[in-house]
């Protein structure tokens, strides 16, 4: 199975298909620390990262923002003292696209780099 971190986001327009339950279940195995909240009927991918202080959390939030811009696919980023909560979903389809799983895996990979 191709690693999500090796994939690139595809341009995503309204009308693009949401990820299937089957593919979601398969790919979630690569991002086990992420949860799947549903907010206002929109399924999202979410993970909270803990840090020793605000400055380290802030630096990580900046790297997530850089990553998002590089792929032109953008998350919600909540920056708090010692914590960053990242939430991915695809606005254009009000749900999850494979792009969101790719970006979640790439977000995790920032911790190793
Ligand atoms: C205009 C529209 O916002 C852009 O095409 C891109 C930007 N980044 C995006 N990010 C996310 N998460 N979903 C989108 O639908 C999306 N669309």
**Per-residue model confidence as pLDDT tens digits over 21-37:** 999 999 999 999 999 99
* Torsion angles phi and psi, residue 39, rounded to 5: -125, 125
Domain chopping of the chain, boundaries:
18-112
- Distance (Å) from CA 106 to ligand 1 centroid: 17
pLDDT, tens digit (0-9, with 9 covering 90-100), for 62-89:
999 999 999 999 999 999 999 999 999 9
Per the CB < 8 A criterion, the answer to whether 79 and 57 are in contact is yes
Report the predicted TM-score, pTM, of the whole model to 2 decimal places: 0.95
Q: Determine the atom of ligand 1 nearest the C-alpha atom of 89.
A: 12
pLDDT band for position 1 (50/70/90)?
low
Q: What is the mean pLDDT of residues 98-109?
A: 98
ipTM of predicted assembly, 2 dp: 0.93
The closest-lying atom of ligand 1 relative to the alpha carbon of residue 12 is 15
The mean pLDDT value of the chain amounts to 96
What is the percent of the chain where pLDDT is above 90? Answer: 91
Q: Higher confidence at residue 13 or residue 43?
A: 43
6, 13, 15, 88 from 48: Cα distances, Å: 23, 28, 30, 12
| Residue pointed to by tokens 């630096």 | 59
Is the shortest distance between the CB of 10 and ligand 1 below 6 Å?
no
Q: Which atom of ligand 1 is nearest to the CA of 11?
A: 5
| Cβ(92)–Cβ(14) below 8 Å | yes
For residue 46, CA distances in Å to 1, 14, 15 come to: 23, 22, 23
CATH of 18-112, one of 3.30.1360.20, 3.30.70.1450, 3.60.9.10, 2.40.37.10: 3.30.1360.20
Phi, psi of 67 (to 5 degrees): -60, -45
């Amino acid at each position: 199975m191709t690693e999500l971190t090796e994939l690139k986001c595809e341009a995503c327009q309204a009308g693009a298909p949401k990820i299937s339950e089957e593919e979601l279940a398969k790919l979630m195995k690569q991002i086990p620390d992420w949860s799947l909240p549903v907010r206002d009927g929109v399924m999202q991918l979410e993970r909270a990262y803990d840090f020793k202080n605000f400055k380290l959390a802030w630096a990580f939030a900046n790297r997530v923002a850089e990553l998002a811009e590089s792929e032109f696919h953008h998350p919600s980023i909540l920056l708090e003292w010692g914590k960053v909560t990242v939430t991915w979903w695809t606005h254009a389809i009000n749900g999850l696209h494979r792009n969101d799983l790719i970006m979640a895996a790439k977000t995790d990979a920032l911790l190793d780099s």
